[in-house]
Structure 1
Amino acid sequence: MPETVFEVDVDEDPEDQPDPIVNRWHPDTPPAATIKPGEKVRIECLDWTGGQVNNDDSANDIRDMELSPNHHLSGPFEVKGAEPGDMLVVDILDLGPFPDHEWGFTGIFDLENGGGFLTDHFPEARKTIWELDGVMTHSRHIDDVRFPGCAHPGIIGTAPSHELLEAWNEREQALIDRGPDAQTGVNHETGDDEPPLALPPEPENVLLGDMDDDKLEDAAKEAARTIPPRENAGNCDIKNLGRGSRVYLPVFVEGANFITGDLHFSQGDGEITFCGAIEMAGYIDLKVDIIKNGVEKMGTDHAMFKPGYQDPDFSDYLVFEGYSVDEDGTQHYKNGNVGMRRACLDAIDYLTNFGYTREQGYFLLSTVPIESRLAGVVDLPNTCVTVSVPNEAFDINIDPDTLADDSVVTDRSDVAKPS
């Protein structure tokens, strides 16, 4: 087993961990450990909420979650000899839940606390708990579903330079300024309440490892949230970034100072419920190397990866199509986001034919390794998006031809709700 260079304790608060947790991007965060090129290491990780979710049948913890400390991540890790302009090469060797913590969770966040991709259709907090059995998973909250997970880190990335951090904050603040009023959240034109278009630095609940207190106050005012993906990769939530994958990360600071965490046992393309993967605490084994001057050699200053060989071998899919026309019939111009919404909503409604609630359908699209594609982007005015649901993930047959049979089961379990 590789040497463990970062330890966590799932029974302790994030502030009381054996190694200090980070939850922001900042170039001055002190490294938690140094890794030599070619070395294999094990990194332990809390779940992304820092242990705020319980293995029970109430969604109170999702409804009442404190979001500003998230994500709770492990690192940063200095890679000896890495310099700006290099490319960090990270091989994902293995990952999984802790042996005494073999469960995960998925949440629908309340409209007033986080929301999600389809929050206007699912405005109330809900939760599912998943049992993790080797490579397989099932849930007491969703009957007749059992499938192999597509385990991967939701977040892996390198620290930004001061210049890149400043560029992030400037461009995202400009986007915020173009959206709803920053103080009231009200759309200037319609008067409707709307979420912000981006999240500015939030100095409350900042964790930057072992940074000295005299530096932490100023750093917290500019440290970037870990919510979106950026040039350093970060929160990409790519389900195919699993065992056997090789990740190429541009280096922006001495030592690279890469961070990882937000481990997922499984996820569908898009992670559409926001807390949408099967989130878990666990470990990840990595091998790290360096390509000197790799950014120039490869001609890119963004991350790249080669997928591994551990994805589920599904072959029997039911494919739903969505176009750039929203639910009220408004035509949008080549809007893939609208197309994705329509395909997901159709898939959710379809699954109700087999006794699943719409909330269960929403959870399934977010956790089963569904395949989503931009199928067509050239034809005016619509972009075509497909969402492919594998029949093999179900213990029942969800083929459309079965709906001619009146014996389809319609009495099923339900997801966890707030008490």
Structure 2
Amino acid sequence: MPETVFEVDTDAPPEEQPDPIVNRWHPDTPPASTVQPGEKFRVECLDWTGGQVNNDDSANDIRDMDLTPNHHLSGPIEVEGAEPGDLLVVDILDIGAFPDHEWGFTGIFELDNGGGFLTDHFPEARKSIWDLDGVYTKSRHIPGVEFAGLTHPGILGTAPSHELLEEWNRREQKLIDDGPDAETAVNHETREEEPPLALPPEPENVMLGSMDDEEVEEAKTEAARTIPPRENAGNCDIKNLSRGSRVYLPVFVDGANFITGDIHFSQGDGEITFCGAIEMAGWIDFRVDVIKGGMEKFGLDHAIFKPGNVEPDFSEYITFEGYSVDEDGTQHYKNANVGMRRACLDAIDYLKNFGYTGEQAYLSLSTIPVESRLAGVVDLPNTCVTVSVPQAAFNFDIDPDRLGDIKSKSRGTAARPS
């Protein structure tokens, strides 16, 4: 087993961990450990909330969650010899749950505390608990759903330089400043506040590893939230970044200062409920290497990756289509976000035919390894988005031929419904 270079204790609060937790991006966060290029090592991780969610049947912990400290991440891991302009090559060798913590959770957050992709349709907090059994999972809260997950870190990235951190804060603050003001940032149909366009530095509950209190006080007003992905990768939530994947991360500071966490047992493309994966605590085995001058050599400003070859063997999907026309009939110009919403809403309505509530269907789309695509972007005014649901994730037949009572399932000769 590789040496553990970052250790956590799921029974202890975040501020009392064996190795100090990180929850912001900052170039001056001290490394928790150092590894050599070519070295294999293990990183242990809390779940992204730092243990705020319980394995029970109440969603009060989702409703009342303190989001200011999230995410709770492991690192930084210094890589000997890495310098700005290099590429850090990260191999994800293996990943799993702790033996005494083989469960995960998914949540729907309310608009005034986190929100989500379809919060206007599902405004109340909900939670599903998932039992993890090897590569398979099922939930007592969504009967009839059982599938093999595609386990991956939601977050992995390198520390920004001071210059890059300043650029992040400048451009994201400009987005906030140029967005709707307090008087107009309200949906006039629902009278609900619209979500912010970006999240500026949050000085409350900042954790920067072993940085001393005085340094934290100075850094907390500029340290970047870990919510969005950026040039350093970070919170990309890419479900295919699983075992066997190789990631090429830009390096902006000496040592790269690699950080990871937010482990997902499984997730559909989009992670649509916000806390939309099966979130879990666990461990990840990595191997790292360095390509000197790799950013210039490869012509890269952002991360790239090669997926591993270990994925669930789903072969039959039902695919839902969405276009740039929202629920009230308003036409948008090539808006993929609206197209994704419409495809998801149709999929949810379809799954309700089998006895699921809308919330159960919503949680299922967020956790099953659903495939989403930008199918067409050239045909104005609509962008076509598809959401493909694997049929084998259900313990019963959800095929539309069965639902429509079509006698022949041959795709070339299917009879019309009588």
Q: Look up the SS of the partner of 2:112 in the other structure.
A: coil
Map 1:363-374; keep pairs closer than 5 Å: 363-374=363-374
Cα gap change, 1:90 to 1:98, in 2 (>3 Å): same
Counterpart amino acid of 1:129? Answer: I
Q: Deviations over 1:294-344 (max 9, x none)?
A: 001101121000000111111100000000000000000000000000000
In 1, the alpha carbon distance for the partners of 2:355 and 2:192 equals 35
Moved more, 308-317 or 21-30: 308-317
Determine whether 1:53 maps to 2:53: yes
**3-state SS of 2:351 partner:** helix
Cα deviation, residue 194, structure 1 = 1.0
Aligned partner of residue 131 in structure 1, secondary structure: strand
- Aligned counterpart, 1:287: 287
Which whole-Å CA distance do the structure 2 matches of 1:232 and 1:292 have between them?
17
* More divergent stretch after superposition (106-115 vs 18-27): 106-115
Helix, strand or coil for the counterpart of 1:24?
coil
Closer/same/farther in 2, CA of residues 188 and 370 from structure 1, 3 Å limit: closer
- The 1:203–1:351 alpha-carbon spacing in structure 2 relative to 1, beyond 3 Å, is same
Q: 1:185 to 1:276 in 2, by over 3 A?
A: farther
User: Counterpart in 1 of 2:107?
Assistant: 107
Q: CA deviation at 1:354?
A: 0.4
Aligned to 2:185: 187
Name the CA distance, whole Å, in 1 between partners of 2:109 and 2:187.
27
Following the alignment from structure 2 to structure 1, what is the Cα–Cα distance between the partners of residues 34 and 192? 50
- CA distance in 2 between counterparts of 1:185 and 1:256 reads 43
Shift of 1:188: 8.0
CA apart distance, 1:195? 1.1
Cα shift readout 1:344-373 (whole Å, capped 9, x = no counterpart):
000000000000110011001100000000
For residues 234-383 of structure 1, the aligned pairs below 5 Å read: 234-383=234-383
Secondary structure, in 3 states, of the residue corresponding to 2:144?
Answer: strand
Q: How far apart are residue 180 of structure 1 and its match?
A: 3.0
Moved over 3 A (4+): 188-192
Amino acid at match of 1:140: R
Quote the residue 2:26 is aligned against.
Answer: 26
Label 1:115 to 1:314 Cα distance change in 2 as closer, same or farther (>3 A): same
**What amino acid is the match of 2:92?**
I
- The 5 A counterparts of 1:141-156 are 141-156=141-156
Q: Distance in 2 between matches of 1:185 and 1:156?
A: 37
Q: CA deviation at 1:81?
A: 0.2
The offset of 1:189, in angstroms, is 10
* TM-fit CA distance, 1:376: 0.3
What is the CA deviation profile of residues 257-312 of structure 1, one whole-angstrom value per residue up to 9, with x for unaligned ones?
01000000000000000000000000000001000000011011210000001111
Matched residue of 2:143: which SS? strand
Q: Which residue of 2 aligns with 1:10?
A: 10
Contact 2:152 2:240 in 1 (8 A): yes
Matched positions, count: 403
Question: Over aligned residues, Cα RMSD in angstroms?
Answer: 1.2
Q: Could you tell me which amino acid in structure 2 is paired with residue 265 of structure 1? A: F
Unmatched runs of 5 consecutive residues or more in structure 2: 406-418
**Cα pair 2:108 2:126 within 8 Å, conserved:** yes
Q: 3-state SS of the aligned residue for 2:42?
A: strand
AA of the residue aligned to 1:366: S
8 Å contact kept, 2:187–2:193 = no
Per-residue deviation, 1:218: 1.1
Q: 1:186·1:192 contact (CA, 8 Å) conserved in 2? A: no
Helix, strand or coil for the counterpart of 1:218? helix
User: Which residue number in structure 1 is paired with residue 64 of structure 2?
Assistant: 64
Amino acid at match of 2:311: D
Provide the C-alpha distance between the structure 2 equivalents of 1:404 and 1:327, rounded to a whole number of angstroms: 25
Alignment-derived partner of residue 408 in structure 2 = none
Which residue pairs with 1:88 in the alignment? 88
Q: Secondary structure at the match of 2:221?
A: helix
- How far the C-alpha of 1:187 sits from its partner, in A, is 2.0
- TM-score, structure 2 as length reference: 0.95
From the superposition, tell whether residues 260 and 370 of structure 1 become closer, same or farther in structure 2 (CA, over 3 Å).
same
Q: Which amino acid aligns with 2:53?
A: V
Q: Deviations over 1:87-130 (max 9, x none)?
A: 00000000011001000000000122111000000000000000
Q: For 1:154 and 1:37, how far apart are their aligned partners in 2?
A: 23
Measure the CA separation in 2 of the matches of 1:187 and 1:387.
Answer: 30
Match of residue 409 from structure 2: none
Give the 5 Å matches for 1:77-226. Answer: 77-181=77-181, 184=182, 186-187=184-185, 193-226=193-226
Q: CA contact under 8 A between 1:185 and 1:195: conserved in structure 2?
A: no
For residues 148-184 of structure 1, give each alpha carbon's deviation from its aligned partner in whole angstroms, at most 9, with x where no partner exists.
Answer: 0000000000000000000000000000112233xx4
Contact 1:185 1:193 in 2 (8 A): no
Give the match's secondary structure for 1:362. Answer: helix
Preserved contact between residue 180 and residue 195 of structure 1 (Cα < 8 Å): no
Contact 2:154 2:263 in 1 (8 A): yes
Task: Please list the CA deviations of residues 369-396 of structure 1 after superposition, one character each: whole Å capped at 9, or x if unmatched.
Answer: 0000000000010000000000000001
One-letter amino acid of the counterpart of residue 306, structure 2:
K
1:416 matched residue in structure 2: none
Q: Within 1, Cα distance between the matches of 2:156 and 2:222? A: 20
Return closer, same or farther for 1:189/1:123 CA change in 2, 3 Å cut-off.
closer
Which sections of structure 1, spanning at least 5 residues, go unmatched?
Answer: 406-419
Q: SS of the residue aligned with 2:145?
A: strand
